[in-house]
Amino acid sequence: MATVETPPAGIDPPGVVRRPLRWVPVAGALLGTLAFLGDELPGLAGQLVLMLTSNGFAWGAAALVTGHLVRQARRAPLVATVVLLVATAMYYLLILFVSRRWSGGQLEDGSSADTYALFSLARAAGFWALLAIGAGLVLGLLGHAVRNGSPRTSAAAAGAAFGLLAGEGLYGLFTMAWTMIGDSFVQAYVISYAAQVCLAMAVVTVLTARRDAPVSWPVYTASALSAAALGATFWSVLQAIRSTGF
C-alpha cells in the first residue's frame, strides 16, 4: 500500500496554489496612515498613537506577524518586506501631499526652502525604505521560523525577534536622563520605551504559544539576552545616523 508523504511545515502540497495575499497592501497602508496620524494628532492621543504605530517595535512587529502568518518559507520575508515598504510609501506620501509640513520655510537669504526640504524628505524616505527592506526580510524570516521551526530553531528565532523588537525601547531606557525623571516630558518617554519592551515580550510570547510543537526555553533565554544587547546597539548606531539629518 502506497504511503502519502506529508510536506514539511510551510511548504504547500503539489498542485496547491494559494490565493494572493490581498491584505498585504491594506496592512501596509494602514500602518503608514496611523504613523502619520500620530505625528498630526495633538496631546495624549497623538502620543498614544505614536507609541503604538510609529517606532521600531510597531513596524518590526508588523513584519514579524506577517512572516508568522505566511506559510511558505520563501514568501514570508518577501511579504513582510512589502508590508513595510507600503507603510513607508504611504507615510511619506501623506507628508508630501496632505500635511505638506515640508513647505513654507525660508532660507537665510529669504528665498524658499521648499526644494531643500523636498530633497531632505526624499532622502529620509529612501533611508527608511532601505531599513524597511532589511527589517522586513529579517523579521519576516524570524516570524516564519517561530511558527514552523524545530524547538531549538523556533526558540532562537523568538529570542532574536524579541531583541530586535525591544531594541529601541531598551536603548531609550539605557540612555534616558533619569536625573530629570520628575519632568512630565521625560516620564512620557520612559512610559513609551517601557511599553515597547513589554509589548515586544507579549507579541513574541503569543506567537510562540501558537506553535503546535514545544519550544526550548533555555535557548530562547540565551537568544533573547544576546539579541537585546545587539538590538540596543543597533539603535544607538541608528540614532547617530539620524542625528546627521535623516
Tell me how far apart the alpha carbons of residues 224 and 221 are, in angstroms, rounded to a whole number. Answer: 5
Mean pLDDT of the chain: 87
pLDDT band at 8 (very low <50, low <70, confident <90, very high): low
Q: What is the mean pLDDT of residues 125-151?
A: 96
Express as a percent the part of the chain with pLDDT over 90.
61
Is it the case that residue 163 has pLDDT exceeding 50?
yes
Percent of the chain with pLDDT over 70: 90
How much is the pLDDT for 18? Answer: 52
Q: Is there a contact between 55 and 114 (Cβ–Cβ < 8 Å)?
A: no
**77-116 confidence digits (pLDDT tens):** 999 999 999 999 999 999 999 988 878 777 777 777 888 8
How much is the pLDDT for 137?
98
Q: What Rg do the C-alpha atoms of the chain give, in angstroms? A: 20
Q: What is the per-residue pLDDT across 223-236, written as a single tens digit (0 to 9) for each?
A: 999 999 999 999 99
Q: How confident is the model at residue 5 (pLDDT cuts 50, 70, 90)?
A: very low
Q: How confident is the model at residue 212 (pLDDT cuts 50, 70, 90)?
A: confident
Tell me the CA distances in angstroms from 83 to 24, 90, 117, one per residue in order.
Answer: 6, 11, 27
Q: What is the rounded distance in angstroms from the CA atom of residue 226 to the CA atom of residue 152?
A: 15
Cβ contact 209:30 at 8 Å: no
pLDDT value at residue 3: 44
As given in the structure block, the three cell numbers for residue 156 are: 532562537
C-alpha span between 128 and 31 (Å, rounded) = 14
